[in-house]
Each structure stands twice: as structure tokens, then as C-alpha cells.
Amino acid sequence: MLMHIHQKISAIFSSRHPATVITLNVLILLLLGWFDVVTGDYSLIILYLIPVSLVAWFVSMRCGILFCILAISVRIAADEYSVPPDFSHAMLHYWNELMELFFLLIMAVLFSTLKKNLVTEKTLSTHDPLTGALNRRFFFDLAEHEINRSRRYSLPFTVAYIDLDNFKDVNDNLGHRTGDEVLVTVASTIRSNMRSSDILARLGGDEFVILLPETFGEAAMVFLTKMHNDLNETSAQNNWPVTFSIGSATYIEAPQAIDEVILRADELMYSVKRSGKSRLLHREFRGGANG
């Protein structure tokens, strides 16, 4: 039951613009203020937690804190309107309001922190923490889905396997910090050439793979050639002794297994390595047969 309610709330607010979320929760606050006036001298602070927690979760911690202040302001206004002030108990009344504010602030921070931790955990489970590229497991899940779609609608796709030549020399001679900088820069350079539909993953220490949906060989070669040139130029500008061996396979008809897709691109990349490195080798395949 609670899980179903959570899913419904997420479905309502997750896709909304922050301004929409804030507006809706301002209306909820005003409704709670009216309800506070009607019910009289009853504490409804738990109900005020609803808009505060929604804003803290779906917008930001800062907005959640501002809503705490707004909620207490509405509470005070409702109390002043519904109950005539008794100056003999004024200090106690305002002390209670202060405690309610602290309660809302604590809950807003907790909700916002929990959301941030959940997002971080989800990102770490699907992405490489250093480069921000997808990790191996998540890439294979997405690639399998894309290959099934290509097979269903008879769409082509291209897979490119990229290996950094001489990367070990960077770690040995320039240090692992520079090695990390190289990997981050390589991922950023690749990403700057990609379309929003393309998929980038880091499969190993210095190996990346790209999946280009709905991409024939000619278009793939244009993309990969430009990307290869950009990578080499970036490496030269930073005086890194790194070049790039790329094996690329275009599938006119999708094979049955994702492993076969990656294996062919990997074999092409190793052909480049054996023939002198720093080159792009591309082939087209039609189903299980060489094109």
C-alpha cells in the first residue's frame, strides 16, 4: 500500500518543473492554513510536513528550508486568527511554534539528504564514478535492449571499441592522477561528439565502447573519424603519450547475442593494435555473416 502511494506521488511530481511543484505545495499550505483556522487550537504540524517534504525531495534542500519558514508563518497566522491571543501564555505558544519550526527543518534536511544519497547510489550502480560513462553491467543491459529494438524494426546500429595506446606509460611515468585526468578528458571528448541517443561506457581500465543506434557504416565513419581526430588532438595538446586504437562494427542486421556484437568490435580493435596502433578499422556485418 505504502509502496503504491510512493509510486503515485513520484509519478505526479518527478516529471513536473520545480516551479510547478512549488506552486502546488503553496496551495497545499494555504489549504492547511484554512483547515487550521477551522479546527481551532489543534496541532496539525504533521500535516504541514507533507508540503515541506515534497519540496525538499523534488526541488531542493534550500526550497525545503524556505517552506519550513513559510509553513510556520501560516501556522502562526492561523493561530492568531482562530484563537485570541492570551498574553499570559504567549511565550509558551511561541516556544511551541519554534519547536515546530525546528522539527520541520530537521525533516526537510533529512528528506533532501536521503534523496541525494539515493540518487548518488543509483548513479554509482550504473555509471563509472571517475568518467561518468556507463559501467559494464548497465551498458550491456541498454545495449541488449537497443539490439532487440534494431532487430524488431530492421534498424542498423554501430558499435565502436576504443583502447588507449600506451596508457600504462602515463600511469608509470606521469602518475595515476594524470592517468585519471586522461580518462576523464577522453570520456568528455567522446561525449562532446555524441548524439543524445548514443551510449558510452567504460568497460575496462583504459577501454571504452560506444553504441550508435540507427547508424549505417558511412555515417559511423564520419562520426568516428572526427572523434578520433579530436582525441588525438586533445592528447597532443596535453603532451600525453597516448594514441587511440578503434575497432568499429556496423550491423545491418542485428545478431542474436550482445556478446557477439562486442566481440567483433573488440577483435577489430586488436587488429589495429597488432598492425601498429593509432588507427580506426571499420567493418560492416549482416547478421551472422561478414558483410
For the chain, give the longest Cα–Cα distance: 92
How far does CA 41 lie from the centroid of its chain? 46
Sign of the CA dihedral with 93 first, then 99, 102, and 106 last: negative
Q: Which listed residue (36, 128, 206, 266) is catalytic?
A: 206
How far does CA 254 lie from the centroid of its chain? 28
Residue 284, phi then psi, degrees to nearest 5: -110, 140
How far does CA 156 lie from the centroid of its chain? 27
Residue 259, phi then psi, degrees to nearest 5: -60, -40
The whole-angstrom separation of Cα 166 and Cα 270 is 14
Task: Determine whether 206 is an active site residue.
Answer: yes
| 156 class by beta-carbon count within 10 Å (0-12 exposed, 13-18 middle, 19+ buried) | buried
Instruction: Cite the active site residues.
Output: 206
